[in-house]
Amino acid sequence: MVENGGRDLRRLLAGMEPRLLPEEFVFCTADDGENEALADLSALATFREEEGMSLVLERTIAESRGFRYGPVMRCISLTVHSALDAVGLTAAISSRLARQDISANVVAAYFHDHVFVPAERADEALEALRELSHEQGDPYAARSD
């Protein structure tokens, strides 16, 4: 059995070490009938929606396969093992980025949360999340409350 991850918001925020992935990513969609063709795409993420299969692909893959896509994004991995039922992590990071007018598309995976931000604002978003983490202090310090 795999460990469930942390739930304490302060410790999650203090313990996260946001890391910017080097690739550019895009969100695309494909018809369900294309499942066999989608299998070899090496999608970073997929999600089946009523309208079709949503894909998160490296920009180069999407372009080479002729997918239409929206904004070019970069991915910031939070690198802290958060429980899937932890409360407030997504809200805290989204709120911090919203204050700087940076959109955030969050994908929660089993071990970590990943935030997709506009490519041209990625460095700024990374710095904002690092500041948020540092503001929490030592995650193992005694609490006064």
**DSSP label at 65?**
T
Looking at residue 50, its pLDDT comes to: 87
Note whether residue 66 is domain-resident.
yes
Q: Which of 40, 47, 51 is closest to 116 using CA atoms? A: 47
Task: List, for residues 119-131, the tens digit of each pLDDT value.
Answer: 999 999 999 999 9
Looking at residue 76, its pLDDT comes to: 97
Looking at residue 53, its pLDDT comes to: 86
Looking at residue 18, its pLDDT comes to: 94
Q: Which of 142, 1, 136 is closest to 78 using CA atoms? A: 136
Looking at residue 14, its pLDDT comes to: 81
Looking at residue 1, its pLDDT comes to: 42
Note whether residue 71 is domain-resident.
yes
Give the global pTM.
Answer: 0.84
Residues 6+ apart with CB under 8 A from 4: 83, 84
Looking at residue 35, its pLDDT comes to: 54
The 3 state secondary structure assigned to 101-134 is CCCCEEEECCCCEEEEEEHHHHHHHHHHHHHHHH
| CATH number assigned to the domain comprising residue 87 | 3.30.2130.10
Note whether residue 60 is domain-resident.
yes
**Residue stretches of the chain with pLDDT short of 50:** 1, 142-145
Domain count, the chain: 1
